[in-house]
Amino acid sequence: FLTQTKIVKRGLEIRARAAGASKTIEVEVDKPLGLTLGQKPGGGVVIAAVEGGGNAAKAGLKAGDQVLYTSSFFGDELWPADKLGFTKTAIQAKPDSVYFVVSRGAEVDVKKLTKRPAPPRFGQKLTEAQKARATHICLDCGYIYTLQKPFDEQPDTYACPQCRAPKKRFARYDVKTGKAIGGSLPPVGVIIGLVAGIGAVGALLVYGLQ
C-alpha cells in the first residue's frame, strides 16, 4: 500500500510540473475581503486589485487572477463568475466569508462552467462533550450537530447554522470515523472531472491528496 501511495504522489508531481505556471487556487476569504473585482471583456470576472495586508492577500489571491467561482448567497453552492454585477451581489449577500476559486496563468471560459456544491468544511474541532453529543453532519458544509436537543426533535424548518442547508441535507454522523453514515459528500471524481477540463493540475493536487 505504501509503495502504491508513493507512485500516485510522484505521478501527480510530474503532472504539476508539466502544467507550468497555470493553476487553480481555492481559498476561503474572511470579510472584509480587501479586493477589487473587474469585468473581463467578453465575460468573466478578474481580481483588479488586492489590498496589501488584507484578507484576500493573506489568503494568497493576487491581482490578475481570474475568478472562476464564488460562494452563492447562502454559501451552499459555488456559482461561476461571469457577470461582475451578479458576482458582486452574491458576495455582498454572503455573510462572514466568501469561497473563491481562481485561475492564475490561464484564461477560462466561465460560460462553460456550471454551478457546483460548496466544498465541505472539514476539520471542525470538537470537545469531548461535543463528541459525545455529535449525532448528525451537514452534507453540504460539514457542520456537525452537537446540541443537547436531539436532532430528530428539531422542526422540519431547522437549517444548518453554517450554510443554511435544510434539515434533510443532514446525515447521521459517526464520531469514530468522522464521516457521515449512509449519506455521501459531493463525489470527488465529479469535481476533478470538472476542473480537469480547465487543465487545472493545482486542483488535482488539492483534491487528490486529501
Provide the binding-site residues for Zn ion, judged by CB under 5 A: 138, 140-141, 143, 160, 162-163, 165
What's the closest the beta carbon of residue 158 comes to Zn ion, in angstroms? 11
Closer to Zn ion at the Cβ: 110 or 138? 138
Closer to Zn ion at the Cβ: 77 or 174? 77
Closer to Zn ion at the Cβ: 24 or 135? 135
Closer to Zn ion at the Cβ: 50 or 160? 160
What's the closest the beta carbon of residue 121 comes to Zn ion, in angstroms? 8
Report DSSP letters for the chain, one per residue.
-HHHHHHHHHHHHHHHHHTTT-EEEEEEEESS--EEEEEPTTS-EEEEEE-TTSHHHHTT--TTPEEEEEE-TTSSEEEE--SHHHHHHHHHHS-SEEEEEEEESS---GGG---EEPPP-------HHHHHH--EEETTT--EE--SS-GGGS-TT-B-TTT--BGGGEEEEETTTTEEES--PPPHHHHHHHHHTTT-HHHHHHHHT-
Closer to Zn ion at the Cβ: 90 or 118? 118
Placement of cell 496589501 in the chain: 52
What's the closest the beta carbon of residue 172 comes to Zn ion, in angstroms? 15
What's the closest the beta carbon of residue 4 comes to Zn ion, in angstroms? 34
What's the closest the beta carbon of residue 183 comes to Zn ion, in angstroms? 12
